[in-house]
Amino acid sequence: MMLKDTLLYLAQNPRLRDFVVQNKITRTASRRFVAGEVLEDAVRATRTLNERGIQVALDLLGENVALKEEAAEATKAYMNAIELIGKTQMDANVSIKLTALGLDISPDICEQNLLTILECGRQCNVFVCIDMEGSDYTEHTVAMTMRAYEQYKQVGTVIQSYLYRSHADVNKLVDQGVRIRLVKGAYKEPQSVAYQEKSDVDQNYVQLMKILLARGNFPAIASHDESIIDEACKFVRDHGISKTSFEFQMLYGIRRDLQEKLVKQGYNVRVYVPYGSHWYPYLMRRMAERPANLMFVVANSWR
């Protein structure tokens, strides 16, 4: 827990960020977890994954913009990805962040940018997942997703099992028919809003997962935890739930062996492919989640 807290703190450290981003060795090591810095890099990764029978969620990295112009640029970049998916027929959808669309500037500006993206998604027949960020944004994210769903059925969002409120959010979203991607959570949160022990987070994850598998609209079970994945497989077998009614999701560069194993077993698997120049905070959160990721980066930085 101390290592995780330290890494999450360093994710916000501008001096370390500048060093890591500008260092050629660490930039190279980061490519295990980030496809590259431009959309073309993500497209190459997508095609490789599609050839292996794996679907993709494209994620342009970047968050917490402070200017309207930056939010407009992010909106256009998301639309470029959507239009490219529609044009090339890649097996992919997109994941977006509301703070990249201007949520810190104005919820109204953010929502208008979101609706612009969703209209593009509807025209190109591409699903759009609204990513979940820190707990300060959870209420806005859930509410904005539900309003958007009234106009655009190809939108969904993410729920984090470490938050106490997630059970209520899952039931509310499921009742409306919104697609949900279930994750454990990767931000540092206080005890007042989130479980602090891994066992509690895992227990809540499994409870929410079973609700989604039984009642959800094509939910995404996003985990690399084999015990949780085995529990999901057992649950669908025991309850006669089709393998085609949900998908497993994993992160780019993590547990490739498990991805391929699940595909061979007939499950839908989607890999979250991040790209963009703002990769440092994302990389730090991935290392905080799993010490093996940190060891990989350190080992490859000295080769």
| Residues involved in catalysis | 131, 181
Cβ distance 84 to 44 under 8 Å?
no
SS3 238: helix
3-state SS assignment for residue 130 = strand
Cα–Cα distance measured from residue 22 to residue 86, given in angstroms and rounded to the nearest whole number:
34
Calpha distance 191→87 (Å, rounded): 46
How many Å apart are CA 266 and CA 264, to the nearest integer? 5
CA distance 163 to 161: 5
Within 23-106, where are the H helices?
A: 24-30, 39-51, 68-88
245: tokens are 């009614």
Q: Please provide residue 191's backbone torsions phi and psi, each rounded to the nearest 5 degrees.
A: -60, -20
Nearest to 273 by CA among 38, 46, 62: 46
Alpha-carbon distance of 93 to 126, in angstroms, equals 6
| Cα–Cα distance, 212 to 219 (Å, whole number) | 6
DSSP H or E segment with residue 111:
helix 107-124
